[in-house]
Structure 1
Amino acid sequence: MLRRTVIAGAAAGLAVAGLGRKALAQPRNPAWPRALNMGTAAPGGTYALYGPAWGQIAQEATGVQISYRATQGPNQNIILVQRREVELGMVTMGVALQAWNGDGQWTQGQQMRDIRALFPMYDTPFHGIALRRSNITKLADLNGKNIGLGPRGGTPGTYWPLILQRLNIRPANIRFGSGSDMAGQLQDGLLDAFLFASGVPVPAFSEIETQSDVNFLDFTAEEIATITRAFPEVAAGQLPASTYRKAGRPLNIVGMFNFAIGHRTLPEDLVYEIVKAVLTQNDRLKQAIAAGSETLAANANKNTFLPYHPGAARFMREAGQTIPDNLVMA
């Protein structure tokens, strides 16, 4: 529980620190909106902590008040930004690709093309956890088991069923819910394993390993080859053994990068200031949440298809990144 408390406390500290200033916040430019809303995610996932961390930095830099809406994750964030029910959100690039092309089942065939990339966030590795007493040590052991996958509308809820299908793994039952809920069900014996995808260390995984003996579930080389062939938006990687206290070894994973997004109608100079503030205060972001260590302009190349907002592209280019003209759209 300690690590989760420290991470959550740091992020909450940023948010709470801003509450006293919130009533006094005034946009630096009177042409900017007075307030923006950000779609985050359910408790137990990284977005719920990461969103307020970068939102507070953006609010202080611009004077624009930023509030937060708990969502199911990237899928719902995209839908809300597309509808302009929120102006800011966070997504994984695989889900964003489905939205842009309108080919994910959850899109119902709609191409969602009012979303724009703002800045790179961090990589989302797919991995899992099981209690040691379950004797589950690898993904193939999940045949006939009860598993949890996080929110149905999030990246794990979208991609894990597809991954398991490709690997010919057939659980007896799949449950969806927040990371915190899945962790509780695992510890109560209602689930045999919890598979997730989020910034690391996953807060819910860190909570579980402080309370129980666990096995971390990663991928074999053959499984990785199968997945990356089927889903080119996913890349192979490895988590250091130090990511979790009880992993005991590096974890072989697949992952996809996360990006902050905004609605295309946001003012260009406002987006420029938001992106500049977040990417030039990386030390502060890392203090709030470990995943912030990857929030660097140098990771702009992780996006190869989603158009950047012109304000974001302007800062990226000033920061020395090559953003092709065909990847910028008003």
Structure 2
Amino acid sequence: MKSAAILVTSALAATASFAQDRSDWPGSFTVATASQGGTYFAYGSGWANLVADELGLSGGAEITGGPGQNMALVHTGEAAFGMTTMGPAAEAVAGESPIAPGLQMTNACAMFPMYQTPFSVTALTSSGISSIADIPAGARIGFGPAGSTSDTYFPRMMETLGVDFERRNGSWTDLGGQLQDGLIDVIAFAAGVPVPAVSQLEVQTDVNIIEFTEEEQATILEAFPVSEFAITADTYTTLEADARSVSMWNFAIANCDLPASMVNAVVDVIMSDNERMVNIHRAAASTVPENWDKNAGVLPWHPGAAQWFIDNAGAEIPEDQIHAQ
């Protein structure tokens, strides 16, 4: 196994609890992300490359079906790291994931908070659709990759709001192209903002970024595990004011069997320099130590990650919420 000649200073000083012995570290790693054109892929590729560079490891991102599949890949060890949304994560831990019904994915551990995933709706301006109520019966709505957070929750939300639709799946990039070509009518995004596919659409055509009404937002808040969110006006050139939305938190995850010293060093690389992360993706403005509590007991903490937040963020993580290695 090759060792890095130099460890980034912050990783060296992470904690006294984890020495610099890297003899049990894997020589390479994979970060399970999602489809190209979405925030997960852009964000995940960025932090995978950052960690690989700083820790002298071979690593990179893998295109996947999103949070549900990522839980399975990390649980089984097929991917060392991944990213998930707390709704699909809770279902996976309980053995209720549509990816593998009955399998309790308890070997995927919380590593660090990422950002909130807003749920937003986009249509071409030429369609005349400027509100949820404008979506015609039988509209073809793209919900992202099958099994993704968007595909899991957004159809249910639309049904709850009384929308009649035909369901379409695909990568965000593909769906953006289909919207522009008139093959679908609406895209229902659940992704960190700005969504690359939406930003690309804005350059190429006129779009409507559709917010929820106060009544629609209240209905969704009551029915789903989400929080209030506003997509700020400066997120997209199309927006002239903040857009009312709802959101769900995302966490990076690690296979629970990975060495504590390795996960501690990875977390230190990510959490010790937020400006570097924001340069990867603007959504990383929320990737800060004080958001450690957004896990809220959904996932067991990896001991290496838990130690970092205890030492550096004053986190009070109960011992029974830390995975025992």
- CA distance in 1: counterparts of 2:50 and 2:238, whole angstroms: 33
Call closer, same or farther: CA 1:107–1:222 in 2, change over 3 Å: farther
Correspondence for 1:5: none
Contact conserved, 1:81 with 1:87, CA < 8 A, in 2? yes
Q: Give the superposed CA RMSD.
A: 1.6
- CA distance in 1: counterparts of 2:182 and 2:34, whole angstroms: 25
Correspondence for 2:171: 178
Correspondence for 1:126: 119
Correspondence for 1:154: 148
1:117 Cα shift?
0.3
TM-score w.r.t. the length of structure 2 is 0.90
Contact conserved, 1:61 with 1:273, CA < 8 A, in 2? no
- CA distance in 2: counterparts of 1:34 and 1:161, whole angstroms: 41
Correspondence for 1:60: 53
Q: Which ranges of structure 2 fall in alignment gaps of 5 or more residues? A: 8-19
- CA distance in 1: counterparts of 2:211 and 2:102, whole angstroms: 32
Identity of aligned residues (%): 41
**Which of 292, 297, 301 is the matching residue for 2:289?**
297
Contact conserved, 1:150 with 1:195, CA < 8 A, in 2? yes
- CA distance in 2: counterparts of 1:35 and 1:218, whole angstroms: 42
**Which of 77, 87, 100 is the matching residue for 1:94?**
87
Give the letter aligned to residue 76 of structure 1. Answer: Q
Q: How does 1:1-330 map to 2 (within 5 A)?
A: 29-142=22-135, 143-171=137-165, 173-231=166-224, 233-305=225-297, 306-319=299-312, 320-330=314-324
- CA distance in 1: counterparts of 2:284 and 2:62, whole angstroms: 20
Q: Which moved more, 1:247-256 or 1:134-143?
A: 134-143
- CA distance in 2: counterparts of 1:185 and 1:47, whole angstroms: 21
Contact conserved, 2:52 with 2:60, CA < 8 A, in 1? no
Give the letter aligned to residue 46 of structure 1. Answer: T
**Structure 1 stretches of at least 4 aligned residues deviating more than 3 Å after TM superposition:** 23-28, 104-107
Give the letter aligned to residue 320 of structure 2. Answer: N
1:237 Cα shift?
1.2
TM-score w.r.t. the length of structure 1 is 0.89
1:187 Cα shift?
0.3
Correspondence for 2:11: none
1:191 Cα shift?
1.0
1:240 Cα shift?
1.1
Aligned residue-pair number = 306
1:64 Cα shift?
2.6
1:329 Cα shift?
1.4
Contact conserved, 1:121 with 1:258, CA < 8 A, in 2? yes
Q: Deviations over 1:156-203 (max 9, x none)?
A: 0111111112112111x2110000000000000111111111111010
1:31 Cα shift?
2.3
Contact conserved, 2:69 with 2:99, CA < 8 A, in 1? no
Secondary structure of the residue aligned to 1:196 is strand
Secondary structure of the residue aligned to 2:36 is coil
1:76 Cα shift?
1.0
- CA distance in 2: counterparts of 1:83 and 1:290, whole angstroms: 31
Correspondence for 1:4: none
Contact conserved, 1:25 with 1:65, CA < 8 A, in 2? no
Q: Which moved more, 1:119-128 or 1:31-40?
A: 31-40
Choose between structure 1 and 2: higher helix proportion.
1
- CA distance in 2: counterparts of 1:49 and 1:170, whole angstroms: 32
1:24 Cα shift?
8.3
Q: Deviations over 1:244-302 (max 9, x none)?
A: 10111211111111110011100011111110111002111111211111111111111
Call closer, same or farther: CA 1:304–1:24 in 2, change over 3 Å: closer
